[in-house]
Structure formats: C-alpha cells, structure tokens
C-alpha cells in the first residue's frame, strides 16, 4: 500500500485549510508578514503536493507595511460553492498587550489560479475565520472571539450568516461554543453529516499543548456537545512522537468516501526542543464510527510519520530545480518578500539579464521597505549558496546571504564598504548576528576583498549548527566565522527570548538581501541561488 510521508508541506506552512473540487485538492496556509500572502498547494492524491499560487499579490488586497513580526496573514480559509472560490484571511495589524487588531477580509475567484477579486471587509472581532456552506443554500461565517477583558484573550467561537450576493455578514451574531478545558479555543470549522453539525477547533495554544477538538449539535447555533474522547488529535501526552504540536486542522472527504484530516505540526530538533522548520502541515486518515464521532483510523490520538494513502491514482509532480540561475524574467514562486510586493523598482531579473538584482533599501530591522527575498528552510539539514557582485562605497551599503527568522533574529554573511573618504574603495566580508535585538559581529576581523569582483557565499544549516563559507574562486570554499546557533531561528527560541510577549509563528528562511542606509539604492547582483536538502 502506498504511504504518505509527513509532513506533507514542509517548512513554515501552518494553519492548513483543505478543499476538494472534483478530483483536485487544495491546501491554503498562513504566511504572516511574508508577501505575496497565503500559499496554495495542489494535489490529486493527497500524497504529492505542488505550490501553485500566492493569491494575495497586490497592496489593495494586502497592505502590510509596518505590521510587526508574525502579524499579517493569519489562518486563511478556502471554500468553494456554486463555481466560486472563497478565500478568507485576517491581516493582523497589532498583537501586543490586551488590544488586538484583527480585520478579516474575503476575496473570490472563479479559478483557483485567479484572478482574485478586490477584498471585502467582513469583521474584526477575532481571527481564524471560516465559511460553511449549508445544504439549504445559506452560508455562515465563524471566527474565534477576542476578549481583551482581564487578559482573557480567547472568548470562544461566534457565528453569523454570510450573504453571498452582497458579500456581507447579516443577522444576529451567535456565540456557539465557549471551548473546553484545554483552553485557547481558535481555528473553527463546521461540517455537516448524518443530521449533525460538527465544529472542529484548535485548542491548547500552538506549541506542545496543541490539540484538535471536536463537538457536535443538531442545530448550527448549538448547543454543542464535546467528543467523548476529546481531543481527537494531539501529541501533548506523547513527547517522543515524531510529529509534535499537532492541532489546528481541517477535514476533507475523497471521491471514494475516505476521510482525512490535515493539521499543523512541528518537528523539534530535540525532545520538546526547537523547530527550525517552523510550523508545518501534516495529514492523517480518520474515520466515522457507529457513534457518529470521528476518530483517528489508526487509533489513539498521535499522528504518524507514515500514513496510508487514499485509493487514488498516484500523481507525482515534476520536481522543481533547486538551482536557480535567474535567466527568466519572473521571480521563482518559492521566493517571498517581507511585507511589500516584489516590484521591479527594488528587485528584478531584467535590469541585468541572467542576474537577480536587488536595490538596497532599509535595514534588516525595518518593518517597511526591506530589500530581501527569502525561501523557506524545509529540512533539518540544508545548504544554500549564491554568487554576489557588489561594489559598496561605504559601510552603510551591505549585501549578502542571510539566515532569517524576524527583524531581531538572524545571521547575516555580507559584504560592506569602508569609511567615507579616501579609503572608500575597500570592501569587506563579515557576519552579523542578531539575537533578541542584540547585534554582534561574529568574526572580529573582517576579510578584505577589495580586488575581488565575485564572491561566493554559502550556509550549511545542520540542526542547530549553522556554518558560513565563502569562496573567491569556484568551489574553493573556506569557513568564515564560528559555528553559530541556528536554533535561535525558531518560534520556540524567539517566544522565550522576547522581553515582552510577541507572536512568533513563522520559521527560518534563507534570504538574498541588500541594504543601502545612505538612501542611494545601490544595487547588488546575484548570479544564482542553490538550495539543497541534505537530510529530510
């Protein structure tokens, strides 16, 4: 029997919402401050998945300039009804203190590949919104309710009718579920089967207490009774399980009547340790039993690394080339930017054909206009390399290869210039590391590379160990700097490092980046980018 290997979406792809339209399956996941917003993966067999789109691709749909780290797009939900795709998402603006700003929007399309409409604002009472389309033609919008009073935060689940003609919420708001003893109730989805409405929620927070819970009612507004063996999926009592942090999920039924759950997960480097690949998406087979409740088909509550595939023809995709040479005019879909669109004024592959050109802008600590494009770290041992041509005039101009988590956690191998004045023709290679706002130079003696046009840069990211390399000729790699702690590029570390609580929900990225703090927008040219997974 064919097996599905978990996670099915590796590296920072959390909060999955799944949809089947005839023979095609789609999963949409959160992207937070990374632009374009939302990731849509496609499959025909639930085993092989391919990234096909990032639908929120213009500022009119997603304005994230200035949003804090790990805000932006939270928990999108995709549905399909009467030939129309509906995509819900929150564009979270702030999340510190008791007050949270979580506006929810809707875009629609007739084709999964777009074009997607301009957004419609729906509400801002909480996040993790979803749509349920009932058999009687009515549709309903539900979300978790934010409750700022006395630091309560999670106020249960609310539901309101959604009018598909006006694309607005109408009628009374119903508080349908207060949650269970696991707490932190969010991520609601509703399904209908055998005369019941089933409410699935994520509870316990998004770390090692995470779980997937289920309740049901005869009426969509409740009252809801909780699953007798709640939660139905969790690793909270199984710290040795390969898949940890399991929760926040969604259900799908195959053409042949099999049921599967997709859900958030994490793969720690050590027992209950740090997850450098961020929060990912896994899958499990589930089954309805005679009591009309849903259970893991394998029994218990722990999700597995290998899962029985459905009775569908296997449909593999052509594997993408992990070595990009920038000969096309379009930027590869695996690259995303921070908060702003990838516009030609700061990044393109046309100003110098065969190269990716970045025009330097703001610092790595900026939440507004960074010149950085990144791709996910998707395995526990990976490498990334590039070749850079860059001629800075001064120390305010920098470019290179960064291993990035957020604006205050990164390791940066880069070229920079000398002091202003007579010696401005000199340039150097060095490493800057930022750990909880503290920036340090990892190698105290920068390497002078004044006479060199091209510099090859490489990172080897093996678990918590991160080693940078450089070469002045092809293949002649030399270590630069010490072995760095790559595990600081994880939710688990950042959550405890921050002096004040701030959401930390993304994952490690490799980035190509350029800064020009003088405001002259000096360009940096990258000849290629090579990403390799050494240990999956």
Residues annotated as catalytic are 15, 186
CA distances from 25 to 41, 312, 415 (A): 8, 12, 44
H-only helix segments in 60-108: none
User: Which of 65, 84, 81, 64 lies closest to 73, judged by CA?
Assistant: 64
CB 440 within 8 A of CB 418: no
End-to-end CA, the chain: 22
DSSP 371-429: EEEEEE--SSEEEEEEEEE---SSTTEEEEEEEEEETTEEEEEEEEE--SSTTTT-EEE
Question: For 370, which DSSP code?
Answer: B
Residue 151, helix vs strand vs coil = helix
CA distances from 299 to 174, 240, 295, 304 (A): 34, 17, 7, 11
CB 501 within 8 A of CB 329: no
User: Which of 406, 401, 391, 368 lies closest to 490, judged by CA?
Assistant: 406
Residue 149, helix vs strand vs coil = helix
CB 247 within 8 A of CB 206: yes
Token readout for 493 is: 């570390």
SS3 track for 440-497: EECCCCCEECCCCCEEEEEEEEECCEEEEEEECCCCCCEEEEEEEEHHHCCHHHHHHH
Token readout for 496 is: 């405890």
The enclosing H or E element of 286 equals strand 280-288
Centroid of chain to Cα 114: 21
User: Which of 438, 390, 432 lies closest to 412, judged by CA?
Assistant: 432
User: Which of 16, 158, 20 lies closest to 85, judged by CA?
Assistant: 20
CB 364 within 8 A of CB 327: no
Residue 400: how many other CB atoms lie within 10 Å: 27
CA-to-CA distance for 465 and 319, rounded, in angstroms?
28
């Amino acid at each position: 029997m064919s097996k599905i290997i978990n996670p099915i979406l590796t590296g920072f792809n959390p909060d999955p919402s799944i949809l089947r339209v005839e023979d095609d399956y789609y999963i949409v996941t959160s992207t937070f401050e990374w632009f374009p917003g939302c990731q849509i993966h496609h499959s025909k067999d639930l085993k092989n998945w391919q990234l096909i789109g990032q639908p929120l691709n213009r500022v009119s749909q997603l304005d994230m300039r200035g949003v804090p780290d790990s805000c932006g797009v939270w928990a999108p939900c995709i549905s399909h009804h009467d030939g129309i795709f509906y995509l819900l998402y929150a564009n979270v603006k702030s999340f510190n203190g008791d007050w949270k700003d979580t506006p929810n929007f809707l875009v629609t399309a007739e084709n999964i590949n777009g074009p997607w409409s301009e957004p419609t604002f729906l509400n801002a009472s909480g996040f993790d919104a979803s749509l349920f389309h009932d058999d009687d033609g009515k549709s309903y919008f539900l979300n978790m309710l934010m409750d700022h009073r006395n630091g309560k935060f999670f106020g249960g689940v609310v539901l309101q009718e959604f009018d598909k003609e006006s694309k607005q919420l109408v009628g009374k708001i119903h508080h349908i579920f207060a949650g269970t003893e696991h707490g932190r109730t969010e991520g609601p989805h509703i399904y209908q089967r055998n005369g019941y409405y089933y409410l699935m929620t994520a509870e316990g927070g998004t770390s090692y207490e995470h779980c997937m819970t289920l309740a049901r009612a005869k009426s969509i507004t409740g009252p809801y009774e909780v699953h007798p063996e709640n939660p139905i999926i969790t690793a909270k009592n199984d710290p040795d399980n390969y898949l940890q942090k399991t929760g926040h999920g969604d259900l799908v039924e195959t053409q042949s009547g099999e049921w599967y759950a997709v859900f958030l997960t994490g793969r720690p480097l050590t027992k209950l340790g740090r997850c450098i690949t961020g929060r990912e998406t896994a899958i499990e087979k589930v089954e309805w039993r005679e009591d009309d409740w849903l259970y893991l088909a394998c029994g218990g509550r722990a999700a597995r690394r290998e899962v029985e595939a459905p009775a569908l023809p296997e449909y593999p995709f052509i594997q993408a080339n992990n070595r990009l040479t920038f000969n096309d005019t379009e930027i590869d879909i695996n690259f995303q930017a921070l908060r702003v669109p990838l516009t030609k004024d700061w990044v393109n592959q046309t100003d110098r054909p065969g190269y990716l050109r970045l025009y330097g802008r703001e610092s790595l600590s900026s939440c507004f206009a960074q010149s950085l494009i990144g791709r996910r770290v998707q395995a526990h041992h990976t490498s990334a390399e590039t070749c850079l041509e860059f001629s800075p005039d001064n120390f305010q101009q920098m470019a290179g290869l960064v291993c990035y988590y957020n604006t205050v956690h990164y390791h940066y191998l880069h070229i920079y210039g000398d002091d202003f004045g007579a010696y401005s023709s000199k340039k150097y290679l060095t490493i800057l590391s930022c750990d909880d706002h503290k920036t340090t130079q990892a190698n105290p003696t920068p390497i002078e590379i004044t006479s060199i046009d091209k510099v090859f840069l490489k990172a080897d990211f093996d678990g918590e160990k991160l080693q940078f390399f450089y070469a002045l000729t092809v293949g002649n790699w030399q270590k630069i700097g010490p072995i760095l702690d790559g595990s600081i590029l994880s939710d688990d570390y950042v959550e405890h490092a921050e002096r004040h609580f701030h959401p930390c929900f993304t994952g490690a990225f490799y980035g190509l980046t350029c800064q020009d703090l003088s405001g002259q927008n000096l360009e940096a040219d990258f000849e290629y980018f090579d990403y390799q997974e050494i240990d999956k």
